[in-house]
A = this chain, B = another copy of it.
Amino acid sequence: MPEIVKLNVGGAVNAALARALEEMPETLLYGEDVAKPGGVFGVSRGLHKRFGDRVFDTPISETAMLGAAVGAASFGRRPIVEIMWIDFSLVAFDQIVNQAANVRYVSAGRTGAPLTIRTQQGSAPGSCAQHSQNLEALLLHVPGIRVAMPRTPQDSYDLLLSAVACDDPTVVIENRTLYAGPKDAVEVGGPVRPIGGHRQLRSGADATVVVWGAVTTKVLDAVDRLEAEGTSVDVLEMVWLNPFDWDAVLDSVGRTGRLLVVHEAARTGGFGAEVVARIAESGVALRSAPRRVALDDSRIPSAPQLAAALLPQTADVESALRSLVAGGAE
């Protein structure tokens, strides 16, 4: 039976992992430092004690970790693998793109790879260029891979469970700056929802903002400033990027006639381009040209003042919204 508990994002992930391990005996949880140490972010604390061998630490061998997940999954296990930083997945990208993504399709459905990759991404003050990237767009160009990006404690709990229950290889991209955030009331123990959908965070008539990831809070700050001035904005947080809730975006833009997409990943080739492209292709009437706010195509410097100059800030979102709304205001 569902109950409400106070959890921060880290706690919510921990609760979801515990529930998956409890309710699905076929789950396995492993990764570097996840078991005895409980994870470098403490997110899997206590799970090795509680679930024993099904939760284990691994060598620093991402290719072996992910390959083992593909093999175990095709034999009915449900591996949940932690890749500590999404940047590290690049040493093992073959196992995601050439292996996991192909199992079901190439075998014509005779077998599959129901594995879950838990990872986290994004910039944080002082992180170096090899620990700061937002790489969801790479995965979203790989047919066969599901991608979720939770932000709140509730979504961190719900989406992870949906991912584990999903029969496709699914990457859940968290954000390390959120793990230790404020606790919030989280409904745990409720029904595990199917994958997909979005979050309507604000409702408005003047513009649509499509956003995902930690930068969403900056978007809300900017939107609230405009609200105060009487500009009302539809804010859609796309917690699932594959499947992507295209209908919701089309419907919203159809109503507002204005689109801004915001993500922390690099602008060029980012998934924001796909969102803008689909809207343009849909032929929906726009009151002003769509816009994107994203990382100003660059590597990410470690010094906070340098990174801040490149990453999307509240002020960038605010001014983009202002020009967007000014456009076609007549």
Q: Which residue of B lies closest to A131 (CB)?
A: B98
The reply to whether B268 and A301 form a contact with Cβ atoms under 8 Å apart is no
Q: How far is the CB of A80 from chain B (nearest CB, A)?
A: 22
The reply to whether A140 and B281 form a contact with Cβ atoms under 8 Å apart is no
Among A101, A282, A289, residue most surrounded by chain B Cβ atoms (within 10 Å): A289
Q: Which residue of B lies closest to A96 (CB)?
A: B90
The reply to whether A269 and B140 form a contact with Cβ atoms under 8 Å apart is yes
Among A143, A270, A292, residue most surrounded by chain B Cβ atoms (within 10 Å): A143
Contacts of A105 in B (CB 8 A): 129, 298-299, 301
Residue-wise, chain A 283-320 has the 8 Å CB interface mask toward B (1 for contact) of 10000111110000111010000000000000000000
The reply to whether A299 and B102 form a contact with Cβ atoms under 8 Å apart is yes
The reply to whether A271 and B269 form a contact with Cβ atoms under 8 Å apart is yes
Known: A90-B94, A93-B93, A280-B277. A129 touches B141 (CB 8 A): no
Q: How far is the CB of A129 from chain B (nearest CB, A)?
A: 5
The reply to whether A141 and B280 form a contact with Cβ atoms under 8 Å apart is no
Which residue of the partner chain, among B94, B129, B281, contacts A291 with CB atoms under 8 Å?
A: B281
Residue-wise, chain A 113-144 has the 8 Å CB interface mask toward B (1 for contact) of 00000000000000011100100011011111
Contacts of A22 in B (CB 8 A): none
The reply to whether A144 and B277 form a contact with Cβ atoms under 8 Å apart is no
Known: A90-B93, A105-B299, A298-B105. A276 touches B281 (CB 8 A): yes
Query: Does A91 have its Cβ within 8 Å of any Cβ on chain B?
Result: yes
The residues of A with any CB-CB pair to B shorter than 8 Å are 63, 87-88, 90-91, 93-94, 97-98, 101-102, 105-106, 128-130, 133, 137-138, 140-144, 265-266, 268-274, 276-277, 279-283, 288-292, 297-299, 301
